[in-house]
Amino acid sequence: MSIEIEGKSYETDEEGYLANLSDWSHELAEAMARMDGCDLTDNHWEVVNFLREYYEEYQIAPAVRVLTKAIGKRLGKDKGNSKYLYELFPYGPAKQACKYAGLPKPTGCV
């Protein structure tokens, strides 16, 4: 599978996660979000950017509590919880936000 943007094609897995992390760009993230009917606001971008930073350091997406804590620090304590993250990413913050951030889908019993 692949996604097309401005005439260029990017390889993905069966569920639309980028096959090559290095293909990621802001435009690609926005295009993937648009395909799900989602417009990326600044708050979405805070999450996406944090995921990318964390992944860069640890080669894995952050655990939910690591993520909520970081988002609480960046956007205010009232937003540092999974309820808020589900409002931003209704398909599940771990999976949907990882997709827009160009990270592989978390596997396992999650």
Partner 1 sequence: MAVKAEFDIPVITNVPRTPALREGAMAHSRPFVAKPDHQEPLGFPGELVEDWHDRAIAKMGELLGSYRSLQVFMDACVKCGACTDKCHYYLGTADPKNMPVARQDLMRKVYRRYFTWAGKYFPWLVGAADLTEEVLEEWYAYYHQCSECRRCSVYCPYGIDTAEITMAGREILDSVGMGQKYSNEIIGKVFRIGNNLGLPEPALADTLEGLEEEVKEETDVDVRFPLDEQGADVLLVTPSADFFAEPHVDGLIGYAKIFHQAGIRWTLSSHASEAANFGLFIGSQGNMQRVALRIREAAMELGVKRIIVGECGHAWRVAYSYWNTLIGPFDFLDPDYPAPQHICEATYDLIRQGALRFNKENNDDKVVTFHDSCNVSRGSRMGSMPGGQFIIPREVIKACCNHFVDMRQETIHEGTFCCGGGGGLLTDDLLELRVKGALPRVQSLGEVIEEYGVTHMAAMCAICKSQFTKVLPYYGMGMDMVVSVHHLVGDALELGTDG
Q: Which residues are catalytic?
A: 109
Binding to partner 1 by residue 3, rule CB under 8 A? no
Binding pattern to partner 1, positions 81-100, x when CB under 8 A? -x---------x-xx-----
Binding to partner 1 by residue 78, rule CB under 8 A? no
Binding to partner 1 by residue 15, rule CB under 8 A? yes
Task: Round to the nearest angstrom and report the end-to-end CA distance of the chain.
Answer: 24
Residues in the chain: 110
Binding to partner 1 by residue 12, rule CB under 8 A? no
Largest CA-CA distance found in the chain, in angstroms, rounded:
42
Closest CA to 47 of 23, 24, 74, 65: 74
Nearer CB in complex with partner 1: 8/65: 65
Interatomic CA distance for residues 49 and 64, integer angstroms: 15
Interatomic CA distance for residues 92 and 90, integer angstroms: 5
| Candidate ranges 4-12, 23-31, 37-45, 62-70; the one touching partner 1 (CB under 8 A) | 62-70
Point out which residues bind partner 1 (CB under 8 A).
Answer: 14-15, 57-60, 62-66, 69, 82, 92, 94-95, 106-110
